[in-house]
Chain A
Amino acid sequence: MMVRKNSLIRRLLTIDLPVFLIICFTLAPYLWMALTSVTEKSKLFTEGPSLTGATLNNYARLFNTVGFGTNLRDSFIVAGGTVVVGLALAVPAAYAFSRFRFKGRRILMLQFLLINMFPLVLLILPLFILMKTLGLVDTYLALIIANSTIAIPFSVWMMTSYINGIPRSLDEAAMTDGCTRFGALYRVVLPLCAPGIIATGVYIFITAWNEYLYALTLGGRHVKTITVAIQTLIGEYQVEWGLLTAGGIIGALPATVMFLFVQKHLIAGMTQGAVKG
């Protein structure tokens, strides 16, 4: 009995306590922001953020006066569009990488990986010039294209590893039973990798939602995503920390919620390649 009690205390001290401290470190800034966002403006600088007399005034102001609603809409359109473009291009490519052995396969796979390593700053300058020439600056299309530079390579790799996980014998069986190759892709492979497609889609959505520098450079008055809106708030309402932090919470919420829903699938897909390394 004594031994068991000692080992429990030991576990609490060597595992639970350090994990608790690390979780505090990861969550504290977020919780502090949430707390600040519900504190009345007048109280913030006298008593500091607190839960007593919590108010949603800052959130109301954000939507009524600052117009956060349109920014949210813009972010949804850009992120949603990037998901559609990214998946539409990545799924066939991933299927080809997974199911065929052909000349140049290795180089093509590596070029997708290489794109992800490019400094964004190297792309952002010419992309701006390109969009300006095409007259696309300040349109949804410009932001969807720019975000696709990040989304396509990553989703090709993620989808390839998901499709690799589906036994080839299944498509072959379908084809022996009279399916064409596209029939097999459509009826067998796609349904089976639905969790992978959803996880990849969510990943693209989160990165596009969170993206800032492209949105700043290629957006404008008509297309202003939530990240740019938050940054503008920082400039305009410098000391109004209640309002600013409310903006931060709203901006972070959709991505965080989606992430928590699919995190298991997402992490499996992300780490697969690396663990083999």
Chain B
Amino acid sequence: MSTTVVPPAPLSRRVLPYVMLSPAVLVTLAIVFLPMVQAVWMSLHDYVLFRPKDFAFVGLKNFIAVFQDPVFWVSLQHTAIWIAVTVPAQMLLGLATALLLNQNFPWRGLARALVIIPWALPSVVIALMWVWIYDANFGVLNDFLLRMNLISTSIPWLANPDTALYAIILTLTWQGFPFFAVMILAGLQAIPASYYEAAAIDGASSFRQFWHITLPGLSGVLMTATLLRLIWVANSIDVIFIMTGGGPGYSTYTLPLYALVEARTGLDYGYGSALAVVFTILLLGFVVLYLRRAGRNIA
């Protein structure tokens, strides 16, 4: 811009970008930042929806209650397992898929198009079809495992507290690995072919090429995609909400789910907000890491 116009830039030109931005910024302030502040404000109050008149300021009472709440600690533990299993599983499967889809084979275009389908499906539909697959009496998974003689009796995957969380983790892995595959594939295509040619001339094996060219070349994409996915997986509650609603017992409670259930069924918006705020603060470290990476790319 600076090359074409003689200084100083007229006022209208300096104001124009802000004018063009203001609708988007004002709307997001009103519908995102304002509610967020309100959530923090609610968390400092006693606020139960069927007693809306009692909006008493209680300071940190809700937060103290959170840390003394055994369900909070159970949910926190589940959130940790949920992230620690799902994200690496999605990443490894996504990496393998991307490496394969980067090879030459006749139906590559078709395979690339098909592999992303789970990503475009509504989470309600994903939950629905996996509940059907896991069904204790007629589900295809039990049927398959019984026929292969891998199990001797049907397992109620979602009704058993020991398997429910992992069953949902498998569902979420299925839903999320295509995202990694697509991201990593784009990263692979950005690595110059000449690197591989040079390495091949020097006699490097394909494993060494992978280790010394592919992985370093992908590190940026892997880091960004992992952070992004971690934040989304941590936040994602709709699949759990529909598949088990947190049950059986508390065995599939994660922190954001607990906050939602507390507000929706308990109607305790003060305590629910406090849970949501605590969860957000715990997540903030990863968000800051991600924003710093993204910020470096803003030209």
Q: Which residues of A contact B (CB under 8 A)?
A: 11, 15-16, 18-19, 22-23, 25-27, 29-30, 32-33, 36, 44-45, 48, 88-90, 92-93, 95-97, 99-102, 105-106, 108-115, 117-127, 129-130, 145-146, 148-149, 152-153, 156, 168, 172, 175-176, 181, 206, 209-210, 212-213, 217, 226-228, 230-231, 234, 241, 244-245, 247-248, 251-252, 255-256, 259-260, 263, 267, 270-271, 273-277
Contacts and interface: CB of A to CB of B under 8 A. Distances in A.
Contacts of B131: 234
B21 interface: yes
Contact of B17 (A88, A102, A149): A102
A126 B35 contact: yes
B221 A212 contact: no
A255 B118 CA distance: 11
B125 A22 contact: no
Contact of A274 (B36, B113, B178, B186): B186
Contacts of B140: 32
Contacts of B260: 121, 124, 213
A97 B14 CA distance: 13
Interface string B198-225: 0000000000000000000000110111
B291 A114 contact: yes
A100 B237 CA distance: 39
B42 interface: yes
Given A96-B20, A114-B287, A27 B117 contact: yes
Interface of B: 1, 4, 14, 16-18, 20-21, 23-25, 27-28, 31-32, 35-36, 38-39, 42, 93, 96-97, 100-101, 103, 105, 107, 111, 113-118, 120-126, 128-133, 135, 138, 140, 143, 174, 178, 182-183, 186-187, 190, 220-221, 223-225, 228, 231, 234-235, 237-238, 241-242, 256-257, 259-260, 263-264, 269, 272-273, 276-277, 279-280, 283, 287, 290-291, 293-298
For the residues of B in contact with A, the DSSP-based class is: helix
B276 A274 contact: no
Given A122-B280, A127-B31, A244-B132, A108 B235 contact: no
Given A123-B36, A212-B122, A275-B187, A110 B283 contact: no
Contacts of B101: 19
A125 B269 contact: yes
Given A16-B105, A92-B24, A119 B276 contact: yes
10 contacts: A11-B105, A19-B105, A25-B174, A29-B129, A93-B25, A121-B276, A122-B36, A125-B272, A126-B38, A227-B124
- Interface-centre pick from A93, A117, A248 (highest chain B CB count, 10 A): A117
Nearest to A264: B113
A242 to B, nearest CB: 10
A41 B5 CA distance: 73
B294 A113 contact: yes
A211 B173 CA distance: 19
B1 A29 contact: no
Given A15-B105, A217-B264, A255-B120, 9 more contacts: A18-B100, A48-B143, A90-B24, A118-B32, A126-B36, A126-B39, A175-B4, A234-B242, A274-B221
A18 to B, nearest CB: 6
Contacts, number: 276
For the residues of A in contact with B, the DSSP-based class is: helix
A213 B126 CA distance: 14
A153 B28 contact: yes
A150 to B, nearest CB: 10
B146 to A, nearest CB: 13
Nearest to B121: A252
Contacts of B21: 92-93, 96-97, 108
B93 to A, nearest CB: 8
B143 A152 contact: no
A43 to B, nearest CB: 12
Contacts of A30: 117-118, 121, 129
B115 A15 contact: no
Given A90-B24, A125-B276, A213-B260, A120 B235 contact: yes
- Interface-centre pick from A101, A206, A267 (highest chain B CB count, 10 A): A267
Given A30-B129, A32-B133, A256 B20 contact: no
B138 to A, nearest CB: 6
Contact of A234 (B116, B128, B186, B264): B128
A89 B27 contact: yes
A151 B283 CA distance: 21
